[in-house]
């Protein structure tokens, strides 16, 4: 059950983007599992991909095609990751692009492929091609919700958000979708995300913004410390909003809105983490370096003992101390550290907080949204991570994933 995550609200069309979905039955029955997103001519397109050394065939191909600089469509299938599928998998990814290109009147290299699902199984290309035929009459600017649902795997809630920002006399729209629930860890956290805006953003700036916004969003989430073979995020800017040249202040407004969309999509993945009952923020402040703060945050976020205590609502904060101690940080001195959970002090200057009681700790651990804060008192650096607890359901979902 997702943690305080509602289905998407009103999703706004983005001028220059048309979407179509279909049910192929490749893995899932009775639901759409294929998406094509068409981008208007002249769109800028930027992407970041998994850093996995065993990345999937569509990742290899999308990286190659994106470098050619003229992306006009994205094709996404769910249920089959097309990963660890060798040369056949790469041929199938290329064929999927060829089929979409033929349908939309594009060059093959203008179509970027994305897949998510089971690793190690070949794509059923006749089934894929049959599903693609269904799309011909379905392209519409208003299909964002259907798109969000089509890319789901173990997700329980479709993840999508729209935001607008007024720039001069023009209103710029940003709409995005994401999927992911397990196999989630940063350096492109199995997740996919697709965001589009009608703002006019040149390629160099869009690349810069994408990298920066991902570092503030998808690279700060973790469910289980496992990095997928297929992770990818794409941001497209169609330039259809007639804003003219933007000032630095206006560009700042547009960037802030895009980053906000990415943060909403990233945290939605944590709220819908497999089996999650808690949404947890790990915040580390006043470290000697960002690296130290990051090491502490992930040491706690990845600890099975911390995560299971959170699931049990058990104020066994000794596990938090343990996770701090094993962090590969260079500058931690326990007699300087303060630790707080919610509004309750656990450790003050390395000593148990004098006013801590089991009842106060229990009250915080009972909450569905929890912040654990470390003050290292070593400098001015800071870092935060969003994570979830670890429940029986997480084990069941993943034990039964292929059955």
Catalytic residues, by residue number, are: 190
- Measure the CA–CA gap between 45 and 291, rounded to whole angstroms: 31
Tokens of 46: 């930027």
Q: Which residues pair with 354 in a beta bridge?
A: none
Reported as type and span, the H/E element at residue 94 is: helix 86-104
Helices in 313-357 by DSSP H: which ranges? 318-325
Please enumerate in sequence order all residues whose Cβ is within 8 A of that of 376, keeping only pairs 6 or more positions apart, or say none: 284, 285, 286, 287, 288, 292, 293, 296, 331, 332, 336, 337
Helices in 105-233 by DSSP H: which ranges? 125-133, 144-150, 203-215
Q: Which residues of 353-368 are buried (b: 16+ CB within 10 A; e: fewer)?
A: beebeeebbeebbeee
Per the CB < 8 A criterion, the answer to whether 209 and 197 are in contact is no
- The strand pair at 369-375 and 344-348 is best described as unpaired
Per the CB < 8 A criterion, the answer to whether 237 and 201 are in contact is yes
Please enumerate in sequence order all residues whose Cβ is within 8 A of that of 300, keeping only pairs 6 or more positions apart, or say none: 282, 306, 320, 323, 324, 327, 372, 374
Per the CB < 8 A criterion, the answer to whether 9 and 157 are in contact is no
Residue with tokens 């913004």: 209
- Measure the CA–CA gap between 124 and 112, rounded to whole angstroms: 19
Please enumerate in sequence order all residues whose Cβ is within 8 A of that of 41, keeping only pairs 6 or more positions apart, or say none: 72
- Measure the CA–CA gap between 72 and 70, rounded to whole angstroms: 6
Compute φ and ψ for 110, nearest 5 degrees. Answer: -90, 0
Closest CA to 35 of 56, 49, 18: 18
Tell me the angle at which helices 318-325 and 290-301 cross, rounded to the nearest 10 degrees. 130
- Measure the CA–CA gap between 80 and 61, rounded to whole angstroms: 16
């Amino acid at each position: 059950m997702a943690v305080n995550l509602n289905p998407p609200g009103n999703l706004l069309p983005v001028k220059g983007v048309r979407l179509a979905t279909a049910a192929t039955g490749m893995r899932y029955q009775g639901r759409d599992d294929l998406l094509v997103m068409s981008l208007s001519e002249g769109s800028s397109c930027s992407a970041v991909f998994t850093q996995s050394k065993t990345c999937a065939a569509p990742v290899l191909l999308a990286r190659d095609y994106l470098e050619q600089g003229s992306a006009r469509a994205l094709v996404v299938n769910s249920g089959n990751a097309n990963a660890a599928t060798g040369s056949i998998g790469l041929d199938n990814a290329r064929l999927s692009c060829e089929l979409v290109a033929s349908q939309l009147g594009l060059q093959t290299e203008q179509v970027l492929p994305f897949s998510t699902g089971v690793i190690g199984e070949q794509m059923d290309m006749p089934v894929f091609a049959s599903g693609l035929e269904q799309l011909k009459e379905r392209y519409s600017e208003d299909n964002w919700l259907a798109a969000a649902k089509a890319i789901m795997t173990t997700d329980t809630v479709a993840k999508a958000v729209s935001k607008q920002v007024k720039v001069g006399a023009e209103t710029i729209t940003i709409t995005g979708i994401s999927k992911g629930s397990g196999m989630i860890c940063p350096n492109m956290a199995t997740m996919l995300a697709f965001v589009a805006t009608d703002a006019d953003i040149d390629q160099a700036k869009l690349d810069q913004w994408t990298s920066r916004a991902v570092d503030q969003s998808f690279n700060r989430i973790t469910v289980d410390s496992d990095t997928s073979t297929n992770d990818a995020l794409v941001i497209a800017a169609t330039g259809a909003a007639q804003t003219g040249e933007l000032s630095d202040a206006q560009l700042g407004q547009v960037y802030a809105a895009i980053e906000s969309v990415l943060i909403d999509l990233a945290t939605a993945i944590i709220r819908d983490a497999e089996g999650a009952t808690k949404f947890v923020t790990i915040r580390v402040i006043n470290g000697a370096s960002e690296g130290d703060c990051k090491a502490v945050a992930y040491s706690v976020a990845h600890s099975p003992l911390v995560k299971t205590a959170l699931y049990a609502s058990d104020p066994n904060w000794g596990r938090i101390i343990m996770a701090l101690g094993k962090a590969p940080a260079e500058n931690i001195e326990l007699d300087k550290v303060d630790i707080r959970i919610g509004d309750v002090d656990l450790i003050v200057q390395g000593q148990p907080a004098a006013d801590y009681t089991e009842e106060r700790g229990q009250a915080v651990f009972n909450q569905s949204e929890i912040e654990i804060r470390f003050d290292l008192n070593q400098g001015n650096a800071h870092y935060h991570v969003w994570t979830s607890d670890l429940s029986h359901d997480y084990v069941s979902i993943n034990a039964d994933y292929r059955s």
